[in-house]
Structure 1
């Protein structure tokens, strides 16, 4: 009985050594096993990416967050009258009492011109950095004498000497200059007003309100010229809301990779983007946006109509590392396939433990890539990590295969594979196309090389 079991064991061991099917099963099992540490690598990249975002958010909160400007808006108080009737039991008559209430009309400017210059730089904390900027925003334009009779407001009910200018904006902490607005050559300072809903900047903005425009009489003027400037320390993006009947924006910056965002794009004829920065111009007329120039009792939320420029890095090192790790299964599978074909065609025995060591070396590439890229740029990190892994596996293959031509072929194959993956990572619009063509060519090569293998033997 023991002799029979021993013979069966020997047969099974011999089948493992000589059978192509058995080797395929073992290699496939090892690939599945190696997906476990590969998943931990993906988790590590995600963790470091989240840590980077937390640090960037902390830097931005201290330096200054995104910048959006909604204004200036003319705030005009007007009188409304409420009549109440009270029945008098003694006289058997109704007494009429009229109460005066103050409400507000909000008037947008006829023209609004903004000239924005943003000087960007990077701030570092440890291994992480954030792109921030200091921007000088100069606004000018004019209000015209508003006709509120269409809104049912008589001109004599408007309290002209209590008019104010309102500017709604984000990032009050980032403002670095005294806020003054000059209207018809007279300056008016601003003060902030409390808004309990400012935690959600997507829907609410902080509010700055000027002193009373007590010397400004719209009844005697056809138009009121204004200008003011705002200097911000900010990050992420700069946007304005086109509340002028005609709104123009000219933005310049030393930021080389702008992303134009929002409801309107700059004019292609005047847009310039170089390695030293960009220049862009917008012009929006009232027919381009679906809101009016006058509002009663409220300032509408028009954030959806904002436009401007985003100053964030489009693809950072962690995003590239994450995209690279997504090809980990392909790298391990193709490398194992090369060793499997060499083993099958040359009859050289490669132990499953040796396959495992090769797989772990391939996974170490991603650990090296992430750790080095935190201290250098992605290209240098990719070169160091890939060259280190290629040399390690090539030398290890030399000790296994006892020849020079097969390890050389493996080194060339790994170099081509890592180069192919780097090219795909750099591409955005054509990544799927190039990746599909590359995998098709790899499949064709494998089919060509393996055509003479006798798959029936084992």
Structure 2
């Protein structure tokens, strides 16, 4: 019996048992780490909710579809009055987007913009030959100009189109679709001969946020967009033909011909939803503080594992016993780093928060190691190693294109160092 007790005691004092306990503790610490990650996700969602609510009062995403001609006609087949839509023969769009200011609510900030948009172009004579509609069935005198857009409550200019010096006003039309975010604006009725072959010009001023997009309805569409925002993201069905971005802003141009699009210049029947064929610019923040915190927390398991590995190697080399409770305190401190990081970040920058939280945790663990090891050499080694780990992690977080490469090379170097320092350890004891 005494021999069994001695063997059990010897086993629990062996390096194998200590490694198993430290490994199990590392897995257990994933539980509070997951809670911290959930906290980061919750705070990020809360930020998006507040920003959405705040920007909705200023103006949301700007979307423009038009202008276009709407001509009613009588269909002999259905015996009903139908509608045909004709897009411009030429359309030029020029947009000047300026970041107006930063809206702040509580600790959250939202970037909003003001957009001045000019539409210029020319309508061709509407052609009904595809349907063989008799001329007497076409209600030319009831022609209207139609324009679809979002955020009509954020338009801070007159909505009028100038056709050869004649200004034609628009009125909103109630939508039959519930929760429809796209509003339809229609002009008064007039003969189509007043527009066919003549140039038009339309100027709109918006308050908006997040993004701006246009449907290239012109048979030949040319568009330019200039902004003082430094981080554009081009998306949608068409990418710009040219773009030039700098820290002071960007400029982009699009050129779209009718054969580049999967829709015709004439649309007979209800006006189709062509929003999926729009070209779009998102005015994004490349990596916000919550994304950086989320990326940092994903490396939490690595930080805990490497820190425990340093302590375990020092324990083995120095022959000083470190209790599993002391490992637990160190692990909890490492998890607390991410809670400190997210809480400080919300009131400052990520870099400053990382420096404060990292310094606090490294200092606390170094002092705790000094009380355990009772010398200066090993605690300073631990503090230096932990500082290098956090610095390495910070570099990876800041990198985007080279994060995987730098991370792989760094881990290779760490593994090589561990193999070097542990090469003479007798693991049989």
- Decide which of 252, 257, 272 is 1:280's aligned counterpart: 252
TM-score normalised per structure 2: 0.95
Inter-CA distance 13–82: structure 2 relative to 1 (3 Å threshold): closer
**Structure 2 equivalent of residue 91 of structure 1:** none
Paired residue secondary structure (1:329): helix
**Structure 2 equivalent of residue 417 of structure 1:** 389
- Decide which of 172, 177, 186 is 1:209's aligned counterpart: 186
- Contact 1:111-1:141 within 8 A present in 2 as well: yes
**Structure 1 equivalent of residue 351 of structure 2:** 379
- Decide which of 98, 118, 123 is 2:97's aligned counterpart: 118
**Structure 1 equivalent of residue 133 of structure 2:** 153
Paired residue secondary structure (2:287): coil
Paired residue secondary structure (1:144): coil
**Structure 2 equivalent of residue 356 of structure 1:** 328
Paired residue secondary structure (1:223): coil
Q: How does 1:236-251 map to 2 (within 5 A)?
A: 236-251=210-225
Shift of 1:360: 1.1
TM-score normalised per structure 1: 0.89
**Structure 1 equivalent of residue 268 of structure 2:** 296
Shift of 1:9: 5.3
Inter-partner Cα distance in structure 2 for 1:411 and 1:76:
77
Inter-partner Cα distance in structure 1 for 2:77 and 2:97:
51
Shift of 1:245: 0.6
- Contact 1:131-1:312 within 8 A present in 2 as well: no
Shift of 1:441: 1.9
**Structure 2 equivalent of residue 105 of structure 1:** 84
Paired residue secondary structure (1:167): strand
Inter-partner Cα distance in structure 1 for 2:145 and 2:257:
22
Paired residue secondary structure (2:123): strand
**Structure 1 equivalent of residue 64 of structure 2:** 69
Shift of 1:340: 0.2
Paired residue secondary structure (2:226): strand
- Decide which of 356, 360, 377 is 1:405's aligned counterpart: 377
- Decide which of 208, 216, 223 is 1:234's aligned counterpart: 208
**Structure 2 equivalent of residue 86 of structure 1:** none
Deviations 1:176-216 (A, max 9, x none): 22211112221111111111325255xxx2100111124x5
Inter-partner Cα distance in structure 2 for 1:222 and 1:212:
14
- Contact 1:257-1:311 within 8 A present in 2 as well: yes
Shift of 1:81: 3.6
Inter-partner Cα distance in structure 1 for 2:196 and 2:340:
69
- Decide which of 294, 298, 303 is 1:322's aligned counterpart: 294
Inter-partner Cα distance in structure 1 for 2:404 and 2:35:
25
Q: Does 1:265 align with 2:244?
A: no
Inter-CA distance 455–158: structure 2 relative to 1 (3 Å threshold): same
Inter-partner Cα distance in structure 2 for 1:335 and 1:80:
79
Shift of 1:146: 2.1
Inter-partner Cα distance in structure 2 for 1:386 and 1:148:
72
Inter-partner Cα distance in structure 1 for 2:76 and 2:16:
94
434-443 vs 254-263, which moves further: 434-443
- Decide which of 36, 41, 46 is 2:36's aligned counterpart: 41
Inter-partner Cα distance in structure 2 for 1:80 and 1:165:
21
Paired residue secondary structure (1:255): coil
- Contact 1:256-1:275 within 8 A present in 2 as well: yes
Paired residue secondary structure (1:453): coil
**Structure 1 equivalent of residue 410 of structure 2:** 438
Deviations 1:102-150 (A, max 9, x none): 3221000011111111111321111111221111111110101122223
- Contact 2:396-2:406 within 8 A present in 1 as well: yes
Inter-partner Cα distance in structure 1 for 2:160 and 2:319:
85
Inter-partner Cα distance in structure 1 for 2:297 and 2:196:
65
Shift of 1:27: 1.0
- Decide which of 29, 41, 54 is 1:59's aligned counterpart: 54
In the alignment, structure 1 segments of 5+ residues that lack a partner are 84-98
Inter-partner Cα distance in structure 2 for 1:34 and 1:291:
57
Q: Does 1:78 align with 2:73?
A: yes
- Contact 1:137-1:230 within 8 A present in 2 as well: yes
**Structure 2 equivalent of residue 133 of structure 1:** 113
**Structure 2 equivalent of residue 450 of structure 1:** 422
Shift of 1:82: 6.1
Inter-partner Cα distance in structure 2 for 1:196 and 1:400:
73
Inter-partner Cα distance in structure 1 for 2:25 and 2:77:
84
Paired residue secondary structure (2:91): strand
Shift of 1:222: 5.6
Inter-partner Cα distance in structure 1 for 2:210 and 2:76:
47
Paired residue secondary structure (2:423): helix
- Contact 1:67-1:239 within 8 A present in 2 as well: yes
Shift of 1:241: 0.2
Shift of 1:13: 4.3
Paired residue secondary structure (1:250): strand
Inter-CA distance 318–452: structure 2 relative to 1 (3 Å threshold): same
Deviations 1:1-33 (A, max 9, x none): xxx57x8656644543x3111211221122122
Structure 1 or 2, whichever has the larger Rg, is 1
Q: Does 1:194 align with 2:168?
A: no
